[in-house]
Amino acid sequence: MKTKKFAICCNNKIQNSVEVRDLLEKILSGKKIDFESFDIDNLKYGCDFAFVIGGDGTILKSARFFAKSETPVFGINLGRLGFLSQAPRGELFEAVEKILEEKFYIDERIMLQSGENLALNDFVIKGNSHGRTARLSLKINGKAVCDYLADGLIISTPTGSTAYGLSAGGPVLAPNLNAFAIVPICPHTLTARPLVIPDTETVTVSMSECENGFVVSTDGQNFYECKSDIDIKKASCSAKLALLEDSDFYTILRGKLHWGMSPAKI
């Protein structure tokens, strides 16, 4: 294939990850493939394709990092759900063969950005007073939309719609949609509902009646405090996920989340 150099990104904190990394290194070495291995906390640019060993969190971190260099990432799942990954540990040999034979495609996923912070799944905004609801004001393109009295607010990409947003009652968005979902967390009203908007819009969240500001998280991994309004928009770069040719979002939705499946017979 045209790829010149591979990266192997491993989350050493996940059980069996080092064992799988060693096996993958052995496979690539046997095929005379140029590669370099990295710990998830010490990633580097310079590779054309990245194998990522871990769970969805590991893939999220790698995808955000490599988005700036337009490097595709391929997930080998060792976590629980593995919604973003393509290959379980037991199918490693077959998956590597398909990648080397170019039996995959690159799926570009839009990301969110606020300042220097990027998110592939979502931004989550909560009040800085623990155990209390927050009054959050929402503007879109500078125009007031509504106020939420809630535990927080999720601004989600289509990729992230099957994550925190889903558990908070948000919609599932097909990954190729150019849209964001705005989902309130435990709103203290019956009229607050999720909102889906085009990804060309700029979302602004401000907090009223509170001097403590926000706690903001990106993909549930990076946390920081903010004392002023937060502007969130589509990022200038996109994540590149390498998916096998027979991969299908709806099949994954059904297989991973058991979507629309009838209860098992007793």
Q: What residues act catalytically? A: 56
Q: Give the Cα separation of 174 and 231 in Å (integer).
A: 24
At 3, list the tokens. Answer: 């790829």
Single out the residue of 34, 36, 29 nearest to residue 4, CA to CA.
Answer: 34
How many residues does this entry show for the chain?
266
Parallel, antiparallel, or unpaired: how do β-strands 6-10 and 214-218 relate?
unpaired
Q: Give the Cα separation of 66 and 206 in Å (integer).
A: 31
Q: Give the Cα separation of 80 and 168 in Å (integer).
A: 19
Residue 133's contacts (CB-CB under 8 Å, 6 or more residues apart) are 127, 149, 150, 151, 186, 188
Q: Give the Cα separation of 101 and 183 in Å (integer).
A: 41
For tokens 């939309």, the residue is 145
Q: What DSSP assignment string belongs to 169-213?
A: TPPP--TT--EEEEEEES-SSSS---EEEETTS-EEEEE-S-SS-
Helix (H, G, I), strand (E, B) or coil at 233: strand
